[in-house]
Amino acid sequence: MISLGGVSKVYEGAYEVHALRDVHLEIEAGEYVAVMGPSGSGKSTLMNIIGCLDRPTSGSYVLDGREVAGLSDDQLAQVRNQVIGFVFQTFNLLARQTALRNVELPMVYRGASPAERRRRALEVLEQVGLADRVHHRPTQLSGGQQQRVAVARALVGQPAFVLADEPTGNLDSRSGQEVMTIFGRLNRAGITILLVTHDERIAAHAKRVIRLMDGRIVSDERNPEPLDPETELQRLVSQPAAGAVASAGAGGGSA
């Protein structure tokens, strides 16, 4: 589905930055891949190229059998719209619009009818557990809820794959785990997931982990036993908060 052949990316400026160097990568439909690596190693650059937000300086990128490295901006935007859903660390929601409107918006660009947009947006908002928050604005939602709106927005166009750049980076562990639970479900439904994370525990949900260093892939390993997101979520929910443990101990002592 995704095939990078000798992809390099050089940013020109006061001096050249070689963000990606000769990257070869094949990702099949239905995979669940985590990309890790230190800050500046090229993770976002890789995601942007795979997501058709940017082009390689050299090398080839074949997506679904089609060379996209040479496409025009308009053509890239079209590919993006048809097959890719994005989730970002900072949610990138429109602050003055309701959850429903935020999720409907990508469908406006696709020319769906108002009734169809509404039906589809409500459906994906329900999928991410926000059926009772559709008329809230981002400021009236928690970070975790905002990220779930962003996931719904990514899903509304029925993408073949979801690209997420540090989707849990701004979330507390429980909210992050709720997002991972949704990704797990999507992957089971056949959607390809590619996510960037700094967190080993988040990466451990993926079936494959790729590590970048200085713009090169330095390891690419299968994870034979990915974490089950529902089990992890249960563990977090049942774990009392640190403060609660302390007071329970004190209460036990005085009884």
Ligand X SMILES: Nc1ncnc2c1ncn2[C@@H]1O[C@H](COP(=O)(O)OP(=O)(O)O)[C@@H](O)[C@H]1O
Per CB under 6 A, residues contacting ligand X are: 11, 13, 17, 19, 37, 39-45
Least separation in angstroms between residue 90's CB and ligand X is 14
CA distance 23 to 7: 5
Residues making up the chain, counted from first to last: 255
User: Which of Mg ion, ligand X, none binds 65 (CB below 5-8 Å, type-dependent)?
Assistant: none
| Residue 30 CB-density burial (10 A; 0-12 exposed, 13-18 middle, 19+ buried) | middle
For Mg ion, the binding residues in 209-228 under the rule CB under 5 A are none
Q: Least distance from C-beta 18 to ligand X, angstroms?
A: 8
Residue from 19, 41, 44, 156 binding Mg ion (CB under 5 A):
44
CB of 114 to Mg ion, least distance (A): 36
Residue 13 or 190 with smaller CB distance to ligand X? 13
72 makes contact, choosing from ligand X, Mg ion, none, with CB < 5 to 8 Å by partner type, with: none
Q: Is 32 helix (H, G, I), strand (E, B) or coil?
A: strand
Residue 83 interacting entry, from Mg ion, ligand X, none, C-beta within 5 to 8 Å by type: none
Using DSSP's 3-state secondary structure scheme, residue 88 falls into strand
- 10 Å Cβ neighbour count for 86? 20
Amino acid type, 127: Q
Nearest to 23 by CA among 204, 213, 254: 213
